[in-house]
Amino acid sequence: MPKLPIYMDNHATTPVDQRVLEAMLPYFSEKFGNAASRNHSFGWEAEEAVDRARGQIAQLINAKSKEIIFTSGATESDNLAIKGVVEFYREKGDHIVTCVTEHKAVLDSCRALERAGKASVTYLPVDKYGMVDPDAVRKALTDRTVLVTIMYANNEIGTIHPVAEIGRIARERGVVFHCDAVQAAGKIPVDVERDNIDLLSISAHKIYGPKGVGALYVRSRGPRVRITPQMDGGGHERGMRSGTLNVTGIVGLGKACEVAASEMAEENRRLLDLRDKLQAGIFERLDEVSLNGHPTERLPGNLNVSFAYVEGESLLMGLHDIAVSSGSACTSATLEPSYVIRALGVSDELAHSSIRFGLGRFNTEEEVDFVTGRVTHEVKRLREMSPLYEMARDGIDLKSVQWKAE
Amino acid sequence: MAYSDKVIDHYNNPRNVGSFDKSDADVGTGIVGAPECGDVMKLQLRINPESRMIEDARFKTFGCGSAIASSSYVTELVKGKHIDEAMTIRNTVIVKELNLPPVKIHCSVLAEDAIKAAIGDWKKHHEDGAPAAAEPRKAQEG
């Protein structure tokens, strides 16, 4: 029996790796200097640590150290990239191409620009696996397009977009390509040169680093990309992001990237085995289960499944000793089911029935076996309680029923 | 969101889960909600045609824990009540009993609607000229 509760929600956040924590600890009280203090050893020590972290992050994504800008997290990175590009290139144009399954930090940044009359936005659809068609990106580009922003891998369904091809299309047309790589950098090989990426958002806490720190990669050459800063102040980070650097967090982000880079291949093999075992176990034991996301082009730790006739939140309640998440409306503030799952063309009912399992570095095979058993048991129990399951078994087509909704 | 102890209790030990035979004239069936909204409740009441008392109740619910708990509680609440009294049950009683937070009040509204729908269904058989209590009782408990 594994230790309970089990954490299997690693797309939401991850625990700080012990090695990352140890790297960070001296920078709280001992080496506390301000990296911007240029005239004493406390400052130099902090600056040295920040530069080391810049190198570790750059190495993970095949960039140069000076191309890394530190932020408070990926939401800030996305805001800075999108608003920064649109503002800087406003003489050139005002059109953005993005996609409907992007993270809210991207979608709402785009919407804010639309509302302010600063940009018009094309929201591309995705196919049934959640993938954007690069050809659709090509067709959406106009003479006014200044930015393409497409995520590397989706946070709910794990689908990995054909980023390199999208990047190539944007590059050919001289359009800046921003990529939210929060779920990908440190998890799968990301290479800003191979993938033709100009701006890339990274978060520390998704890769076993601390919360509250992230980075934005800003291409310096071939072509040089410019952004207008979104915060006024002391002109830190080459004027792109003012504010005293979060040295401790930055050291943690750097170390997390270093560990991720050195263990990625092995970790992915292990995660893929665990994920496939979980998937096979659930699909063998239960009928009317469907996968949300791409069957193969998917993050190794991701498994998003809809359990027909069972509402997601009630299933989460039954799995109270297992931390996973649901696309059900009841778990969100808006009472709408997941917009990502709905974008796949899945019915609202199945969107309400979706559960996301996010496997990570510290999950074990014993945990996977336990989760498989618990999920199977709870789904069967709730189906026995479900009027929809009963109707479906009686051969009633649920789509033909006239529901008396409020 | 943290659930109240009573919601958890009903979720873990739901009362009166199952189905009666829909074609039984003494049984009133109410199905409310819609799958795309994430809530469907089926409430069935066995009503004595002479005394018009609710003798038994069954439910099945697709929905969140609060929806399951609301319907489970309602089956306990209506048993032994005259249908006229059951028709006066308001959702606020359910909210109070289960300590439902504001975001879950719609679950209690749905449960109140289910009572009315089930009684309404029964009345269709008994007040529109259909024979009262003509068929033998055959309960299917699932």
- Domain borders along chain A are 6-11+264-397, 18-260
State the Cα angle at A30 between A72 and A15, rounded to 5°. Answer: 45
Does the residue B36 lie in any domain?
Answer: yes
Residue positions counted in chain B: 142
Q: Is B60 on the interface with A (CB under 8 A)?
A: yes
pLDDT score, position B141: 41
Q: Which domain holds residue B96?
A: 5-122
Q: Which two tokens stand for residue A24?
A: 């960070």
Give the pLDDT mean for A193-206. Answer: 98
Contact B101, B94 (CB under 8 A): no
Beta bridge partners of A356: A304, A325
| Cβ contacts from A onto B, under 8 A | 92
Other CB atoms within 10 Å distance of the CB of residue A9:
17
Nearest C-alpha in B relative to A354: B38
Is B134 a domain residue? no
Identify the pLDDT of residue B36.
Answer: 86
Q: What percent of chain B has pLDDT above 90? A: 80
Length of chain A in terms of residues written: 406
Residue from B7, B107, B110, B115 carrying the catalytic annotation: B107
**For residue B118, is it within any domain?**
yes
Nearest to B40 among A329, A335, A387 (CB): A387
What class is the A6-11+264-397 domain? alpha beta
Q: What are the φ and ψ backbone dihedral angles of A325, each rounded to 5 degrees?
A: -130, 165
Q: Closest-CA residue in chain A for B102?
A: A333
**A18-260, which class in CATH?**
alpha beta
pLDDT in tens, A300-319: 999 999 999 999 999 999 99
Catalytic residue among A99, A110, A257, A330: A330
| Residue among B33, B35, B60 whose CB faces A385 most closely | B60
Beta strands in A22-163 (DSSP E): 68-71, 95-99, 120-124, 145-149
* Tens-place pLDDT, residues B32-86: 999 988 899 999 999 999 999 999 999 999 999 999 999 999 999 999 999 999 9
Share of chain A above pLDDT 70, in %: 98
B42 touches chain A (CB under 8 A): yes
Please, which pLDDT band fits residue A225 given cuts at 50, 70 and 90? very high
Nearest CB among A348, A349, A384 relative to B142 is that of A384
> Do A6-11+264-397 and A18-260 show the same overall fold?
no
Q: State the total domains in chain B.
A: 1
Contacts of residue B110 in chain A, CB cutoff 8 Å? Answer: 406
- In this complex, the residue of A330, A389, A405 whose CB is nearest that of residue B64 is A330
Residue A263's pLDDT band (cuts 50, 70, 90): very high
pLDDT, mean of residues A61-85? 98
CB contact B112 to A (< 8 Å): no
The answer to which of A207-211, A273-277, B123-127 has the lowest mean pLDDT is B123-127
Specify whether A330 is catalytic.
yes
What's the pTM?
A: 0.92
Does residue B140 carry a pLDDT above 60? no
- Mean of all residue pLDDT scores within chain A: 96
> Is residue B64 annotated as part of the catalytic site, yes or no?
no
Is residue A317 within 8 A of residue B11, CB to CB? The reply is: yes
Q: Do B34 and A403 touch (CB under 8 A)?
A: yes
Owner of token pair 């209506």: B78
What pLDDT shows up at residue B139?
Answer: 45
Report pLDDT for B127: 75
pLDDT value for B125: 84
What pLDDT band is residue B128 in, cutting at 50, 70 and 90?
low
Q: How far apart are CA B65 and CA B113, in angstroms?
A: 18
Higher-confidence position of A119 and A405: A119
Q: What is the model's pLDDT at position A130?
A: 98
Contact flag B60-A329 (C-beta cutoff 8 Å): no
Residue A333 predicted with pLDDT over 70: no
Q: Per the domain annotation, does B60 fall within a domain?
A: yes
pLDDT of A17 higher than 90: yes
CATH number of the domain residue B55 falls in: 3.90.1010.10
